[in-house]
Amino acid sequence: MENNKTSPSFAQSALTFGLIVATIGIGLFILKISLHSLMLVCLVIATFSAWRLAGGDFTSIRNAMNDGISRAFGAIYIFILIGVLVAAFIQSGTVATLIYYGLEFISPAVFLPAGLILCAFMSVATGTSWGTVGTAGVVLIGMGGAMDIPLAIVAGVVVSGACFGDKMSPVSDTTNLAAMSSEVDLYKHIRSMTYTTGPTFLIVLVIYAVIGMQFADNAMSVDRVNAMIEALDNTYAINLFCLLPFIVMIALTAAKVSAEPAMVAAAATAVILAIFMQGADPVAVMNALYSGGGKGSTGIEALDGLLGRGGISSMMWTLSLALMALALGGILYGFGFLQSLISVVLIRIKSAFSLVTSTIVTCLVGNMTMGEAYMSIILGGQLFGTAYDEKGIDRSVMSRSLEEGATLTTVLIPWTTGGAFFAATLGVNVLDYAPWALLNWMNPIISILFALFGLFIFKAKPKKEETTTVKPVPASAG
């Protein structure tokens, strides 16, 4: 850090981090204070702690905050475009059409495992959990609500499936970033993850299937299903052409087109359909891209709540929280607070179990303090690479641990970019869906247990046999 006079001591770093955790914990769970206000207090704490390190120069502190935000500019653009995409998909009848056919063909008994597989398939194909949540996730929330399945459970299924693909897809940004940060071949990294994520996915699938059976006896009456189908049919022109925007987005993303142009193309397609197929007023459609809202009332509250969402304005709460969290992370990272804490941990690592556990926990802590999985992955790769080499453990074990600690846990924390985005898009609080996002918290635990028993801890090969380069694949955020 430019103009940084000294590095923080372990005591100062621990005190700063402790105050931030206490502020969020007590303020959020006990005093019920707004998360935005708590983030502001945490920024003040971090700024005060960094003041002496900066030699009393606030410019370097501001630069650190700017750096923290600038690293997530891609995610910020996605925030805005997802709001546009959801609104456009509602206007075009795409969301209504998916719900329409879903109500006709999917029963409550198989809804949860089917939803997990759908989200996993889409996120693997597109490499984006955010795009999956913003499209298939929104539809599944609407269907789950119509089937009287608790939305927290439905959101947990969506998050689990979406994050599976974000972690495993070769076109995912976090997958590529973890491989590059660890200096591991991309497909070697993915193979390593299958040993821990594969079994976890199967366990989670079975659990969701068992949970779903509890709703089999509470299947919607024929009259209620018909009422919803009729309401959708009366409000929108329902046909397969309405799925075209959805197909456009999947096709472009699968073709490795960057997320932003793929989303714009899908939204533009949806706008055209809304005007020429749904007969919507062009001015109303364009205004909806900002304010959200569907064509009108269907007369069914559950459907109206879903079809009245979306728009740029719906993402502003999320975006403002993310900006504050990223600024906080910029200070903590830029002035070395987190690095100071982790350096003490590294000295005490004696086994593969403690190394894997430390990697995962460090990424979790990084997410909590920096608000973004990207920085946690980069930081973890920088700090733990030598430790894995010294113990003769292949770096693919580190790369998968980075993803399990960073990619999967970021959406379980309300103030991270991922957590705030998922909550805003699905309309379910992070703390409500987190217990049901089984894959996200079970995968790190299973990975740690495997390390405890020495399972799938691969030994490093001689350097001459190691492939250490990977060509980054342009992919979407989230």
Q: What would the pLDDT profile of 166-175 be if each residue is shown by its tens digit?
A: 889 876 878 8
pLDDT of residue 92: 92
Q: Do residue 199 and residue 326 come from a single domain?
A: no
Cross-strand bridge partners of residue 393: 459
With residue 131 as reference, give the H or E element that holds it: helix 129-132
> Does some domain include residue 107?
yes
Residue at token pair 């802590």 = 365
> Does some domain include residue 111?
yes
3-class secondary structure, 93: coil
Q: Do residue 88 and residue 210 come from a single domain?
A: yes
For 270-309, the pLDDT digits (tens) are: 999 999 999 999 999 999 999 987 776 777 776 777 777 7
> Does some domain include residue 477?
no
Number of domains the chain contains: 2
> Does some domain include residue 475?
no
For 318-366, the pLDDT digits (tens) are: 788 878 888 888 898 889 898 888 888 788 888 999 999 999 999 998 8
Query: In the numeric block, which tokens belong to residue 372?
Result: 């973004």
Q: Do residue 364 and residue 274 come from a single domain?
A: no
pLDDT of residue 2: 46
**H helices present in 255-351, as ranges:** 259-276, 282-291, 301-307, 316-334, 337-347
Q: Do residue 282 and residue 357 come from a single domain?
A: no
Which of residues 314, 342, 357 is at a domain's end? 314
Q: Do residue 259 and residue 341 come from a single domain?
A: no
For 42-51, the pLDDT digits (tens) are: 999 999 999 9
Q: Do residue 95 and residue 33 come from a single domain?
A: no
Q: Tell me if 16 sits within 8 A of 46, measured CB to CB.
A: yes
Q: Do residue 231 and residue 264 come from a single domain?
A: yes
Q: Do residue 111 and residue 159 come from a single domain?
A: yes
> Does some domain include residue 198?
yes
Q: Do residue 332 and residue 375 come from a single domain?
A: yes
Q: Do residue 141 and residue 279 come from a single domain?
A: yes
For the packed helices 10-25 and 316-334, what is the interaxial angle rounded to 10 degrees?
A: 160
Which of residues 259, 291, 314 is at a domain's end? 314
> Does some domain include residue 17?
yes
pTM over 0.75: yes
> Does some domain include residue 145?
yes
Residues 6+ apart with CB under 8 A from 324: 36, 39, 40, 43
Which of residues 314, 333, 367 is at a domain's end? 314
- 356: nearest Cα among 392, 384, 320: 384
- 394: nearest Cα among 447, 443, 467: 467
What residue numbers bound the domain in which 284 lies? 77-314
Q: Do residue 130 and residue 148 come from a single domain?
A: yes
Q: Do residue 94 and residue 185 come from a single domain?
A: yes
pLDDT of residue 170: 79
> Does some domain include residue 1?
no
